[in-house]
Structure 1
């Protein structure tokens, strides 16, 4: 399956931003150059999560296992361009699946283990899936049984049942390799073939399938590897589910690109995560902003560990707190990198090289592809601009919120199924749905600041309020563990602002007046002040751990004021 038209392929290939490498061809290179180097390692508590023994595979073993799995998939009647759902936690078998699919030209559609029957049926119907690969269980959830119940019409391939154990795959002989090579000669896979269909987070509607080719993923991986300064032989700790941009572009494809060891983790367990950072001598990792905030407040914990191998740590999915970035830098001697990406192909990074100031790095991203700025040529082919979301008029002045548009080698061709009305502007620019402002020092104004989502905007009496900046401020309020604001209906103003808080243990709910005075003292405009506080046990999040603001509003509407 190829979604890019010949003109786009030719343009990006001639520009040198798309090439000929596929995921499995990169593996072949590493097998030749460093066969005994660690390729992938399970987390220590793997047996508590799912059946199977803890695995540590070198590149040669990863190649052998993916050959044997590819052969098993051929024997199951699967092959080039077939769409196969995979629902597995972060275990070595999932990595093997990606490489096996790449070798056969199978389009793999990874989904979170949290997806249930409703989501399974939706995904299978959308892509006309031929099979689903899973395991018996994840914790107490019986994945294989639930998949067979939800999707009786397609093949359900369960590890250690329909698929041999990982140990058996690793020990397979050369016959599997020969069969895979024979298949590849008849069905050649190029870098422009679609290798995955991932799914949007679905915070504003039904999840949409995002087809991405090897070239799209590797263009993203180039940026991540540059931002994290990945070196051959580095050890990368991946704590996010291997189903979307953060894990695939940030770790799977970039580790293949640079020849790095991939150490797995998930679901997130702070104590285990820190232990892995130390014991696995990790060079680079990422963590959610809330976790880094807590670590920044816990110097005794951080200093009790030997993290001398750690070169930098990344974060994203929400604005970072400048004080956290500064504390990591000054007290821990560790640089924090700010990542901003999406399955569709947004791929921006704020690093010490582009944003030396913690204040800038926490909240701003370089305006890539804009002529005359310092970043010209930094990410070849990536072009960004800002436009009025209603009129499409390009915004060039600072301080005016507009929709971020992006084009270039990282961007997909359109959602699976062809329903792409309004997705692109001028044919090539993806409309991100994210509101940004041009900012930074005059006269260049070289940065973007994310101010919210087009559909997240709170309309208080005609005054448009971006919630993310308020989230960030409230998260630093004493005793608050997590915070997110949302709209709630008001007869007079249309909408008002509610602060939804998760409090630290034994911390009482703050008085509304105290919170308002605290925010005013930090410069927040009065019309943006929360006019209601709602304490929750947890913020509603989707399977990819993003706060669902529409769900927050629904909760708040049902609760008494």
Structure 2
């Protein structure tokens, strides 16, 4: 096991192997088996290309040899920040092949997040786009390289507007080698770490989640079974491919394992996705509630043939009942509610579940070896129907975050259950219902925004004396982010566009920027002297809660 990663206890690891959950299968072998079985069949569609299974494996091996020849080796960490294209798959499987560990990053990440990921992982490499949606990622890569001593290798996929002839940033198109020459590819240990996912984050910046070959190949196998995925299926990747939901629930990897076809969408809008569904005869996709609302609206005026759809998975944020009830009648397909975490546990509704289960719950765990508990604040297990914290352990749920011993001591019970931070209950039939989050996270359209992180950046701005960030309900995104500020003496109040520009200048990702801005004379406090966010939320709803005390109503500066 890679240093700073927490292994499963030996007795449980042995049980998972004995019972057939872990089969000693690496992700590299998964692709090789699929290539041998499905050869010329189309595996990936995107960025103007159609790539067959055998072709994909060959390209992966040549790319792996190219990375190896340029100094990337077994055990190295490489941050991968690419959009939804076949290159994400090619790069990750090439890194798997040489024993390097991809560290997944989102296209929306900027200096703050990328620097953190490189420093935390000790990354030696960084694969990024060049220019993407007007942002110069290649220039970001150069800035990070100058700040992180371990970072030596930069690879750019696409145009590099800030490059010079003397700059050692390597175009991905030039990373090519002969897999039959040079050092042989390492023999992979399936029990070792394959790659790192990112935590959704209740802390300021994401933690790294080590996923092993054994646990992830099992996850995609179990998720594929729960989705009834076969080689006849066509999966549309609409959300960022670096999400666990898109990558492996069953997602891209599960579809490749089943021998199906993966189609990449540049964005999740109906204008982009509906023509792809019609042209490629897409059967399965996974979206968040805010996206499916756009799709429901788009279905009223777009005329694309969506009759191939059989399953739409929805997860990552609460799906309101009134939206859930519209999906099957509008798209003539099955809704599959999903609860999943990058840390492991996944629960799905099933095709044969009663309608009420599908509409109102997040279903059952995908593995018979998944163990879940709902506990109160003292850790006592609660009966069905009562709300408490969800704890989980199982053959694909992590045992500890990477290089985070102090946090791990709090995040896991003595017997290895992961404290999810989710408030949940079980129905009498054993189905899971997620009720919210214990900690201070805003779930904005499926993206998790740490209030503490945004508050830290707000507090650092000139003219801000105090700051608090709270969610405000939104019919479209579920929640939006509201910044509540107290201005420093003598400072002028900002309007929201000005605040956003200041936050962007600090390198904050777009989805973390406040959607609303209000000013107060003082922030309400609890009896312990902490900011009373319940009182703030009530104020923003137009209420004047008694517990807030006497404070001046908010001045909305959203503009």
Q: Normalised by the size of structure 2, how large is the TM-score?
A: 0.75
Tell me: CA distance 1:270–1:252, structure 2 relative to 1, closer, same or farther (3 Å). same
**1:33-48 superposed matches below 5 A:** 33-42=37-46, 46=47
Quote the offset at 1:532 in angstroms: 2.4
Tell me: CA distance 1:159–1:300, structure 2 relative to 1, closer, same or farther (3 Å). closer
Match of 1:21 in 2: 25
The answer to whether residue 129 in structure 2 is matched with residue 132 in structure 1 is no
Match of 2:53 in 1: 59
Quote the offset at 1:121 in angstroms: 1.6
Q: Distance in 2 between matches of 1:482 and 1:158?
A: 33
- Aligned partners of 1:84 and 1:107 also within 8 Å: yes
Quote the offset at 1:82 in angstroms: 0.7
Match of 1:158 in 2: 156
Quote the offset at 1:282 in angstroms: 0.4
Tell me: CA distance 1:242–1:560, structure 2 relative to 1, closer, same or farther (3 Å). closer
The answer to whether residue 374 in structure 2 is matched with residue 386 in structure 1 is yes
- Aligned partners of 1:320 and 1:472 also within 8 Å: no
Q: Distance in 1 between matches of 2:51 and 2:90?
A: 10
- Per-residue Cα deviation, 1:320-353 (whole angstroms, up to 9, x for no partner): 1333333332354211111111110021112332
Match of 2:502 in 1: none
Q: Distance in 1 between matches of 2:131 and 2:311?
A: 34
Match of 1:183 in 2: 184
**1:164-313 superposed matches below 5 A:** 176-179=178-181, 183-184=184-185, 187-250=186-249, 251-297=251-297, 299-301=299-301, 304-313=303-312
Match of 2:14 in 1: 10
**1:335-484 superposed matches below 5 A:** 335-354=334-353, 356-357=354-355, 359-366=356-363, 368=365, 379-388=367-376, 390-398=377-385, 400-419=386-405, 420-439=408-427, 444-456=428-440, 480-484=475-479
- Per-residue Cα deviation, 1:484-522 (whole angstroms, up to 9, x for no partner): 2789864689454677xxxxxxxxxxxxxxxxxxxxxxx
Tell me: CA distance 1:486–1:135, structure 2 relative to 1, closer, same or farther (3 Å). closer
- Aligned partners of 1:144 and 1:158 also within 8 Å: yes
Gaps of 5+ in 1: 47-53, 369-377, 459-470, 500-527, 534-555
Tell me: CA distance 1:128–1:474, structure 2 relative to 1, closer, same or farther (3 Å). closer
- Aligned partners of 1:23 and 1:256 also within 8 Å: no
Quote the offset at 1:266 in angstroms: 3.3
- Aligned partners of 1:498 and 1:532 also within 8 Å: no
Q: How many residues align structurally?
A: 459
Match of 2:102 in 1: 108
Match of 1:30 in 2: 34
- Per-residue Cα deviation, 1:107-138 (whole angstroms, up to 9, x for no partner): 11011122222222211111111111123221
Quote the offset at 1:206 in angstroms: 2.1
Q: Distance in 2 between matches of 1:77 and 1:281?
A: 41
Q: Distance in 2 between matches of 1:474 and 1:312?
A: 28
Q: Distance in 1 between matches of 2:307 and 2:189?
A: 40
Tell me the C-alpha RMSD between the 2 structures.
3.1
- Aligned partners of 2:113 and 2:205 also within 8 Å: no
| Secondary structure at the counterpart of residue 151 of structure 1 | helix
| Secondary structure at the counterpart of residue 422 of structure 1 | helix
Q: Distance in 1 between matches of 2:258 and 2:243?
A: 20
- Aligned partners of 1:28 and 1:63 also within 8 Å: yes
The answer to whether residue 321 in structure 2 is matched with residue 333 in structure 1 is no
- Aligned partners of 2:345 and 2:394 also within 8 Å: no
Match of 1:88 in 2: 82
Match of 1:502 in 2: none
Q: Distance in 2 between matches of 1:94 and 1:486?
A: 30
Quote the offset at 1:274 in angstroms: 1.1
Match of 1:531 in 2: 541
Q: Distance in 1 between matches of 2:330 and 2:86?
A: 35
Tell me: CA distance 1:457–1:149, structure 2 relative to 1, closer, same or farther (3 Å). closer
| Secondary structure at the counterpart of residue 210 of structure 1 | strand
Q: Distance in 2 between matches of 1:203 and 1:269?
A: 28
Tell me: CA distance 1:73–1:529, structure 2 relative to 1, closer, same or farther (3 Å). same
Q: Distance in 1 between matches of 2:525 and 2:170?
A: 59
Q: Distance in 1 between matches of 2:441 and 2:336?
A: 27
Quote the offset at 1:203 in angstroms: 4.6
- Aligned partners of 2:347 and 2:432 also within 8 Å: no
Q: Distance in 1 between matches of 2:370 and 2:53?
A: 32
Quote the offset at 1:296 in angstroms: 3.4
